[in-house]
C-alpha cells in the first residue's frame, strides 16, 4: 500500500507534508545505512551566514559561531543554527531564512533538502517595530467538499510586520470523514511548527485535508478459526504511516498468519509492516500458512533414539520403523498421543491442525514377551506361584504333565502378568498416561494442581512435552479447568479411565 499514489490537489500537498515530516524523522538513518552499504564519497557544502554591513553582534553573542564551515551532507541531513542575536539600527532581529519564505529561530534545527549540492546560505531577518509600519495578517480557511467551514473562534489571529518570523496556528481540526493537518498557500506546505517570514501583504492559507481511514481485517472463509474473525482499526489519517496488525490478530488451528492482502492494490504486506495510509478505507485479508509440527516418536527408552519428523498441517507423513529393541519386550507399534490409535511402521498419518502451543506425537507400544530366548533358563515349576520375572516368559521345562495345582497357579500368574502388561506404561523417560500431568505414573490430585498452575501461569508453571499431552484429558481439545476436574473424578473414583467419554 505504500506504493499507492495520493490524489491531486490538497492530497498532493498532504503527501508533500508527510514526506517532509517523515524525512525529518527517518531520513538520517536511511541515508546512513545507504552510505555505509554503497560507500559513497563525501559531499561537502559550505554553510554561510550572509551578514550585511552595518549589522552588529548583540551583547553576549560570540561572532565566531557565524563563521562559514563545511558539512558532509552524505552523512548529515540536518544542522542547527547557532545561538546568538544580531542587531541593526532601527530594526529588530527575528531569525534566519534561506529562501525568504520559511523562517528559523536561533538554535533551531534546519533539515537539509534532499539533493542539495550548492552552499547553504542563511540571511538574517529584521523587521521594524514602529507604528507607521503596516501589520499583515494570516487568513485561514478550510474547505470540505466545496463548502467553507466556519472557523470562528477556532483559530487564533496571526499577524506580523514584514520581515518578522510568525508562527501560524497549527490547530488540527477533525470532521466526520476527514481532518486537517497543516496549511498551504497553494504552492508551499507549512506544518510541524514551521515559522513563516511575513511578507508585506496578507497571506491566505488553506487547510490540508486528509481522509479518516479505517483498516478492516478479516480472517477469510477458512476452517478452524477461534475467536474473532473480523477487526476494524481505529481511525487513521491519510498520508501518515501506520503499522499493520500482528500475526496473532486471528487464531486458526494449525495455521499462522504470514501476511495481509490489501483490497486496494492486491499486494500482500507483512504483519507489523509500516505502510502509508491511503485516502480510502482498506480491507486486509489474512494470508495463512500451515504450521509445521515437529512430530516426535518417543521410544520410551533412553537407549533408543526417538525420531522426529517435521510435518505441516494436512501433510501426510510415513510412520517410521523402530530402530532398537528392548530386552523382554516386543515392539507392537506407535500410539498416537491424542487419539490413542496404534499405527504400524509404513502407515500413513495426516498431520492434524491443533490450537496454538499444542503438540502431536507418538509413543512406542511395548508388550511383554519376546521371540528371543531369555538369557537365563526358566526355573523348575513348583507348586508355589511363579514370580513376575519367571512368568514373563513361559517355557515348557518338563515332558511330565503338571499337576492340577501347578496348572492353576501358572495360569493365574500368566493371566495377571498379561493384564498388567497391557495396562501399565513401560518404564522409560516419559509417562504416556492420560491425566498424569506430573509424570509420576499415576493419576492423583497433584496432577489437577499441576494443570491449574499451568493455566494460571504458563511462564512459571507451564507443562511441556508429554506432560502437556497427558494433561489434556477431559475429551475436549485444549488445557482448561475441565481437565483438572476430570483428574479429580478419577481420584475420587467417579470415573475409572481418561480421557472422559462424551455423555
**Three-state secondary structure string covering 440-494:** CCCCCHHHHHHHHHHHHCHHHHCCCHHHHHHHCCCCCCCCCHHHHHHHHHHHCCC
Give dist(CA 23, CA 263) in Å, integer: 28
**Closest by CA position to 85, among listed 43, 55, 48, 54:** 55
pLDDT of residue 39: 56
Dihedral angle computed from the Cα positions of residues 8, 14, 20 and 25, in that order, rounded to the nearest 10 degrees = -130
Q: Are strands 236-237 and 225-226 parallel, antiparallel or unpaired?
A: unpaired
pLDDT of residue 503: 59
Instruction: Report residue 364 as a C-alpha cell.
Output: 512406542
pLDDT of residue 316: 97
Between vectors from CA 350 to CA 345 and to CA 353, what angle results, nearest 5°? 135
Give dist(CA 45, CA 70) in Å, integer: 6
pLDDT of residue 494: 84
Q: How many other C-beta atoms are found inside a 10 Å radius of the C-beta of residue 205?
A: 22
Instruction: Report residue 316 as a C-alpha cell.
Output: 501426510
Describe the chain by its helix, strand, coil percentages, rounded to 5.
20, 30, 50
What is the pTM (predicted TM-score) of this model?
0.48
pLDDT of residue 84: 94
Give dist(CA 473, CA 445) in Å, integer: 14
Instruction: Report residue 465 as a C-alpha cell.
Output: 512435552
10 and 186 in contact (C-beta within 8 Å)? no
Give dist(CA 409, CA 402) in Å, integer: 11
Residue 296, classed as helix, strand or coil, is strand
User: What DSSP assignment string belongs to 328-397?
Assistant: TEEEEEEEETTT--EE-TT-EEEPPP--TT---EEEEEEEE--SSPPSSPPPPP-SSPPPHHHHHS----
> Distance from first CA to last CA of the chain, Å, rounded?
52
Residue 17 backbone phi and psi in degrees, to 5: -65, -45
444: Cβ contacts below 8 Å, ≥ 6 apart: 487, 491
Residue 218, classed as helix, strand or coil, is strand
25: Cβ contacts below 8 Å, ≥ 6 apart: none
What element of type H or E holds 415? helix 404-423
Q: How many alpha carbons lie under 13 Å from residue 193 in its C-beta half-sphere?
A: 7
Residue 189, classed as helix, strand or coil, is strand
Give dist(CA 270, CA 189) in Å, integer: 32
Q: How many other C-beta atoms are found inside a 10 Å radius of the C-beta of residue 357?
A: 10
Q: What is the pLDDT along the chain (503 residues), one digit of tens a residue?
A: 333 333 333 343 343 333 333 333 332 222 222 233 455 788 999 999 999 999 999 999 999 999 999 999 988 899 999 999 999 999 999 999 999 999 999 999 999 998 899 999 999 999 999 999 999 999 999 999 899 999 988 999 999 999 999 999 999 898 888 888 899 999 999 998 999 999 999 999 999 988 889 999 999 999 999 999 999 998 888 888 999 999 999 999 999 999 999 999 999 999 999 999 998 999 999 999 999 999 999 999 999 999 999 999 999 999 999 999 999 999 999 999 999 999 999 999 999 999 988 999 999 999 998 544 333 333 333 334 343 433 333 333 333 444 443 333 333 333 333 333 333 333 444 458 999 999 988 999 888 999 998 988 888 888 988 999 999 989 888 899 899 999 998 888 888 889 987 65
pLDDT of residue 226: 93
Give dist(CA 129, CA 87) in Å, integer: 13
Instruction: Report residue 158 as a C-alpha cell.
Output: 496571526
CA–centroid distance for 299 within its chain: 36
181 and 112 in contact (C-beta within 8 Å)? no
Give dist(CA 388, CA 382) in Å, integer: 14
CA–centroid distance for 296 within its chain: 28
* CB burial of residue 69 (10 Å; 0-12, 13-18, 19+): exposed
**Closest by CA position to 20, among listed 190, 187, 173:** 190
348: Cβ contacts below 8 Å, ≥ 6 apart: 316, 317, 318, 319
pLDDT of residue 407: 36
What element of type H or E holds 412? helix 404-423
* Helix residue ranges, H only, 10-127: 10-38
- Tracing cell 506546505 back to the chain, one arrives at 189
Between vectors from CA 105 to CA 104 and to CA 108, what angle results, nearest 5°? 80
Q: How many other C-beta atoms are found inside a 10 Å radius of the C-beta of residue 340?
A: 10
Amino acid at each position: 500500500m505504500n506504493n499507492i499514489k495520493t490524489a491531486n490537489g490538497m492530497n498532493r500537498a498532504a503527501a508533500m507534508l508527510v514526506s517532509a515530516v517523515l524525512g525529518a524523522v527517518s531520513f538520517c538513518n536511511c541515508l546512513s545505512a545507504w552510505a555505509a552499504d554503497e560507500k559513497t564519497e563525501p559531499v561537502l557544502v559550505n554553510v554561510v551566514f550572509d551578514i550585511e554591513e552595518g549589522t552588529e553582534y548583540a551583547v553576549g553573542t560570540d561572532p565566531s559561531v557565524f563563521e562559514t564551515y563545511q558539512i558532509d551532507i552524505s552523512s548529515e541531513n540536518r544542522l542547527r543554527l547557532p545561538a546568538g542575536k544580531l542587531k541593526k539600527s532601527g530594526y529588530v532581529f527575528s531569525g534566519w531564512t534561506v529562501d525568504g519564505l520559511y523562517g528559523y529561530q536561533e538554535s533551531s534545527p534546519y533539515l537539509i533538502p534532499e539533493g542539495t549540492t550548492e552552499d547553504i546560505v542563511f540571511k538574517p531577518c529584521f523587521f521594524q517595530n514602529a507604528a507607521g509600519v503596516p501589520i499583515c495578517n494570516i487568513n485561514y480557511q478550510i474547505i470540505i467538499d466545496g463548502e467553507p467551514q466556519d472557523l470562528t473562534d477556532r483559530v487564533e489571529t496571526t499577524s506580523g510586520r514584514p520581515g518578522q518570523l510568525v508562527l501560524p496556528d497549527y490547530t488540527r481540526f477533525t470532521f466526520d470523514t476527514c481532518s486537517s493537518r497543516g496549511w498551504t498557500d497553494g504552492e508551499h506546505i507549512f506544518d510541524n511548527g514551521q515559522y513563516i517570514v511575513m511578507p508585506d501583504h496578507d497571506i491566505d492559507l488553506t487547510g490540508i485535508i486528509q481522509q479518516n481511514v479505517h483498516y478492516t481485517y478479516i480472517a477469510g472463509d477458512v476452517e478452524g478459526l477461534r475467536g474473532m474473525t473480523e477487526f476494524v482499526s481505529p481511525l487513521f489519517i491519510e498520508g501518515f504511516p501506520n503499522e499493520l496488525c500482528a500475526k496473532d490478530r486471528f487464531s486458526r488451528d494449525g495455521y499462522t498468519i504470514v501476511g495481509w492482502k490489501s483490497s486496494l492494490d492486491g499486494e500482500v504486506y507483512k504483519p507489523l509492516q509500516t505502510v502509508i495510509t491511503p485516502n480510502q478505507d482498506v480491507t486486509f485479508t489474512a494470508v495463512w500458512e500451515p504450521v509445521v509440527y515437529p512430530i516426535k516418536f518417543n521410544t520410551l527408552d533412553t537407549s533408543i533414539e526417538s525420531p522426529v519428523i517435521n510435518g505441516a498441517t494436512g501433510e501426510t507423513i510415513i510412520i517410521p520403523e523402530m530402530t532398537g529393541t528392548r530386552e523382554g519386550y516386543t515392539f507392537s507399534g506407535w500410539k498416537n498421543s491424542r487419539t490413542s490409535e496404534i499405527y504400524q511402521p509404513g502407515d500413513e498419518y495426516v498431520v492434524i491442525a491443533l490450537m496454538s502451543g499444542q503438540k502431536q506425537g507418538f509413543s512406542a507400544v511395548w508388550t511383554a514377551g519376546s521371540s528371543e530366548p531369555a538369557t537365563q533358563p526358566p526355573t523348575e515349576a513348583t507348586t508355589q506361584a511363579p514370580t513376575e520375572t519367571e512368568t514373563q516368559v513361559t517355557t515348557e521345562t518338563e515332558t511330565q504333565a503338571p499337576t492340577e495345582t501347578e496348572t492353576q497357579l501358572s495360569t493365574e500368574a500368566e493371566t495377571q502378568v498379561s493384564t498388567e502388561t497391557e495396562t501399565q506404561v513401560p518404564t522409560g523417560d516419559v509417562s504416556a498416561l492420560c491425566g498424569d500431568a506430573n509424570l509420576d505414573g499415576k493419576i492423583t490430585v497433584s496432577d489437577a494442581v499441576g494443570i491449574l498452575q499451568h493455566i494460571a501461569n504458563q511462564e512459571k508453571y507451564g507443562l511441556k512435552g508429554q506432560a502437556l499431552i497427558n494433561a489434556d484429558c477431559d475429551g475436549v481439545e485444549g488445557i482448561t479447568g475441565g481437565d483438572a476436574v476430570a483428574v479429580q473424578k478419577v481420584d475420587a473414583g467417579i470415573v475409572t479411565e481418561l480421557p472422559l467419554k462424551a455423555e
